[in-house]
Amino acid sequence: MIWELIRSNVYVVKRPIAIAPSVLPADFSRLGEECIALEKAGVDRIQFDVMDGVFVPNLTFGPDVIKSIRPLVKVPFEAHLMVVEPDNLIDRYIDAGCEIVIVHAEACLHLHRTLKYIADAGAVPGVALNPHTPPELINEVKDLLGLALVMTVNPGFGGQKYISSMEPKIKHVAEMLDGLDCDIEVDGGIGIETVSGAVQAGANVLVSGSALYKDPKGLENAVKELRSKAEASQS
């Protein structure tokens, strides 16, 4: 493992960079083909932003949609549950083929129990923090986590501007989780212009949507350039 001094007497393990595109900008009428194209472009996992129109002002993917796509690609699927009652949906998204399930700390009355339930059901448990949510909130459940997601936009819509003031928060989360087998994910406004700050703060899983799909040279080039910039930022 590679170790880096982040500040006096604090060392954080550098975990491998992973590119996890959101399919929000994809053509929903060709979602299976879009996921196949992402896998061919070299992504490490695919994120499905699950929205209920209540926790966030948008509606997206039900588990049946994801289940229909699961046989088409081999990369892991990640369900980011932006919903008010995630406990009612966890089993359905795991059954649909999502290996990683992320719940929002703000939506879970009993976060410890929810994360343990995800793990016991055979998926990787993750917790997401909205921009206003203090990072200390996850300290009491950190031993249960396989992933911590720091939102770098307010969730609900793609194409938003990266909130750079979240970088100290990413750094704080990385320090809290040092020594644990836990990825640090960032989601929102991640692209070539913003990825360095997020990675230098401690993120290793990069959710990118609009920036990948807008690359005039195509998805493969976009994934390659984003990974290259991220890995260079780790060194």
| DSSP conformation letters of 191-231 | STTTHHHHHHHT--EEE-SHHHHT-TT-HHHHHHHHHHHHH
Which pLDDT tens digit goes with each residue over 10-20?
445 679 999 99
From the candidates 49, 52, 120, 143, give the one annotated as an active-site residue: 49
Q: Establish whether 181 is a catalytic residue.
A: no
Positions of the chain with pLDDT lower than 50, given as ranges: 1-11
Residue whose token pair is 């990948």: 212
Tens of pLDDT, residue by residue over 56-92, are: 988 998 999 999 999 999 999 999 999 999 999 999 9
49 noted as active-site residue = yes
What b-and-e string marks burial along 94-120, b requiring 16 or more CB atoms within 10 Å of the CB? bebbbebbbbbbbbbeebeebbebbee
> What is the predicted pLDDT for the residue at 9?
42
**195: closest CA among 224, 155, 175, 218?**
224
Residue of 27, 95, 181, 187 marked catalytic: 187
Instruction: Return the domain boundaries, the chain.
Output: 15-234
Tell which CATH architecture fits domain 15-234: Alpha-Beta Barrel (3.20)
Residues in CB range of 29: below 8 A, 6 or more apart: none
